[in-house]
A and B are shown apart, each in its own frame.
Chain A
Amino acid sequence: MITFSAVAKRYRNGREALGNVNLHVAPGEMVFLTGRSGAGKSTVLKLIALLERPTRGQVIVGGENTGKLAARRIPAFRRRVGVVFQDHRLLGDRPVFDNVALPLIVAGSALKEIDKRVRAALDQVGLLGHERQLPAELSVGEQQRVGIARAIVSRPPLLIADEPTGNLDPQLAGEVMELFRRLNEVGVTIMVATHDLHLVRQSGLREIVLDNGRVAGGDDSLELPVIAAHR
């Protein structure tokens, strides 16, 4: 589902966020992406969601080479990737329903379909009945779950999450992880960036460790000689 081969990313300000990253995530897999702040976790996620393009190397997501995708095809690509942010990025002036419905509205779904799917997504995150509330009227944990509902409402085959539990207490964090596990069980490929190592160990799932813009452990492709050859 996700393949990085010899990916480097240098931002316009000259900062090299990724040096030479190789990694592979199989369809239906759920993996963690860990590492210290600044190790390149966010950059990896941005490359997957096509918020950025690689400077070198190839990023292939769902069979698409993101470096070569024409600009006009980016919206359609993004609809197949659900993204959850640490700061959830909800629209404060719109009720929960509108926030969750946004991916369906931009895709031009029929109103009936939107209604049905938004309720289904809210049901999955345990927030059915909160449709008319504004995000500010919800707790932080609930806001995060609204963000997750928005990411899954169009049933994307791939879900990526950037520190989804960063602002949550251990119990809420556990609930969110449990939610991801359930989504994964129905076939969604999931990548979660986190530095909550306790959560990672508890899950027993594969962990890809980033260190200073390179994969430091947890990926099979590590054995490829290209890694060793660099620097």
Chain B
Amino acid sequence: MSWLLRHLQSLLASAGHLARAPIATTFTVLVMGLALALPLGLDVLVRNVRSATGDFSGAIGISVYLKTNVSESRAQQLLRSVRERLGVRTATLITATEALGQFRKQSGFGAALDALEDNPLPHVLAITPDAASADPAAVENLRRFLQSWPEVETVQLDGDWVARFNAILALLRRLLLLAAGLLGLGVIAVVGNTIRLEIQNRRAEIEVTKLVGGTNAFVRRPFLYTGALYGLLGGLCAFLVVAVALWLLAPFVTRLAQTYGSQFALHGPGMRDLGILLGGGTLLGWVGAWMAAGRHLARIEPGT
């Protein structure tokens, strides 16, 4: 109980120290907040893009052109075996006759087509993969499988752009992790430097405390709490920065979405993000303070 009380006292004392230097504290917290806001902002962006574009698996289509000598009944058989394959959501057969009918209607070459003796068009299987198989590798697998059939003339993928888009999103996510890592190191450095200055400013106090029998752990404690508080406030600051930025952007995004006839609206950072920021910020601040205190406190000894 008294142990808990002592830690609480130390925490309050650290908070008091920060409050007594509001301008210096504000700047440190702001620097940390902006550093932490960048990865959060990027994460929110990626999540919004994903939800805006939705489930792309419907946009990937595979057209399987059969050889012209394949009969319609054989095409029906092939359709059934495609439907049985894992990873296929829908498969439909567009027979040569149907295709010719459509072409006649849409192209305006009706008279020219009538001059042909045979229907030059092949039967086509139109396939869409299911969501789980919409990534580039799975689609390519499916394409190769279909291509290996003797009745198949050619397999055409529609929507290569989807694969590229997914690759870009994956790249963005990797970038986000990288940025988070680097900026996390930055936060540790900022806190470490701030704590180092603080230790120098309170040198006399540290000396006297050690002189009357204060252990290293006792001397270190308030600095660790100070670092953790910086981190906590920095995390809160980052959350507010991103929330305000999204709030400012939201009307424009909505207007843009409306021009596409979309109901899309921006999703801001949530409670989970806040929790991660506060927890992560506190941890980073603590680590930064711990490193600085470990380096600099041991060197301060009374009387030398």
Contacts and interface: CB of A to CB of B under 8 A. Distances in A.
Interface in B289-304: 301-304
> What is the interface residue range for chain B against chain A?
20 to 34
A157 to B, nearest CB: 14
B303 A91 contact: no
B211 to A, nearest CB: 6
A51 B215 contact: no
Interface residues of A, number: 22
A78 B303 contact: no
A75 interface: yes
Given A91-B204, A108-B2, A103 B303 contact: no
B10 to A, nearest CB: 10
A184 B209 CA distance: 25
Contact of B214 (A52, A89, A106, A111): A106
A51 B212 contact: no
A111 to B, nearest CB: 7
A79 B212 contact: yes
A107 B211 CA distance: 12
Contacts of B209: 102, 106
A46 B212 contact: no
A106 B215 CA distance: 7
Q: Say what secondary structure dominates the interface of chain B.
A: helix
A41 interface: no
A75 B214 contact: yes
A83 interface: yes
A89 B304 contact: no
Interface in B1-45: 2-3, 5-6
A49 interface: yes
A154 to B, nearest CB: 8
A51 B214 contact: no
A106 B213 contact: yes
B213 A51 contact: no
B304 A107 contact: no
B220 to A, nearest CB: 12
Interface string A171-193: 00000000000000000000000
Contact of A75 (B204, B208, B213): B213
Nearest to B215: A75
A78 B213 contact: yes
Interface string B192-220: 00000000000011011111111100100
A92 to B, nearest CB: 8
Contacts of B211: 49, 51, 78, 83, 89
A228 interface: no
A111 B218 contact: no
B303 A49 contact: yes
A91 B208 contact: yes
Contacts of B213: 75-79, 103, 106-107, 154
Given A72-B215, A102-B209, 9 more contacts: A51-B303, A51-B304, A75-B210, A83-B211, A83-B212, A89-B207, A91-B204, A102-B208, A103-B212
Which 7 interchain pairs have the tightest Cβ spacing? Answer: A51-B303, A79-B213, A106-B214, A103-B212, A78-B213, A75-B215, A75-B213
Interface of A: 46, 49, 51-52, 72, 75-79, 83, 89, 91, 102-103, 106-108, 110-111, 150, 154
